[in-house]
Structure 1
Amino acid sequence: MPESKSRKKATYTPPAEKAAPKPSPRWWVPVMLGLMLLGLVWIVTFYISRSAGRTPDLPLPIGSWNLAVGAVLIITGFSMTTRWR
């Protein structure tokens, strides 16, 4: 009986591996945690100075915008966590 032709398939070549992401610099985590803590302290200082009956001159005399400053610091710290390796 005649022998059938064998199929010639290309050998499997795996896709090239991507380079592993570089680790974060050593200063990344302290800055990240520092921003989150600074934002928390900023907001707490604002609320404590406001509840003491004084005009909210602490930490800055910008009124309720102190909450926005504290929130931006906290959000910046949390956004840094997405890049932490």
Structure 2
Amino acid sequence: MPESKVRKEAAEKKVDKRKRERGEKRTKSRARMAMSTRDWVPWVFVPLGLIGVLWLIVFYIAGNRVPVMQDLSNWNYLIGLGLIAASFAFATLWK
């Protein structure tokens, strides 16, 4: 038995339905991406910057008396400033 002709409206509805299903999948994936916020960023960059500043303060005040800092000598500047720079790098991730 031959197939009957498909109406144009039915074919368009079918195509629209497929597009909506694809759009729903996209919105679900976007919602997942939106749910993965970057709320953790301030909890990382603030302490990291403070640790860098504290490292430099302790080095200036008691660097000669702290055994690890005494061994590192001028590398302490790089460590303190590196921690501060890493803090700024993490701050750029915050939305």
TM range (shorter): 0.5 to 0.7
Equivalent residue number for residue 4 of structure 1: none
Equivalent residue number for residue 75 of structure 2: 65
Report 1:1-80 matches (<5 A).
22=34, 24-50=37-63, 54=64, 57=67, 59=69, 61-80=71-90
Is the deviation greater in 58-67 or in 35-44? 58-67
Segments of 4+ moved more than 6 angstroms: none
TM-score (norm 2): 0.55
Equivalent residue number for residue 27 of structure 2: none
Equivalent residue number for residue 7 of structure 1: none
Q: How many residues align?
A: 63
Deviation at 1:56, TM superposition (A): 6.2
Deviation at 1:81, TM superposition (A): 1.2
Where does the alignment leave 5 or more consecutive residues of structure 2 unmatched? 1-29
Deviation at 1:43, TM superposition (A): 0.3
Equivalent residue number for residue 6 of structure 1: none
TM-score (norm 1): 0.60
Is contact 2:41–2:93 with CA below 8 Å preserved after alignment? Answer: no
Taking the aligned partners of 2:70 and 2:51, their CA distance within structure 1 comes to 14
Amino acid at match of 1:49: A
RMSD over aligned CA atoms reads 2.5
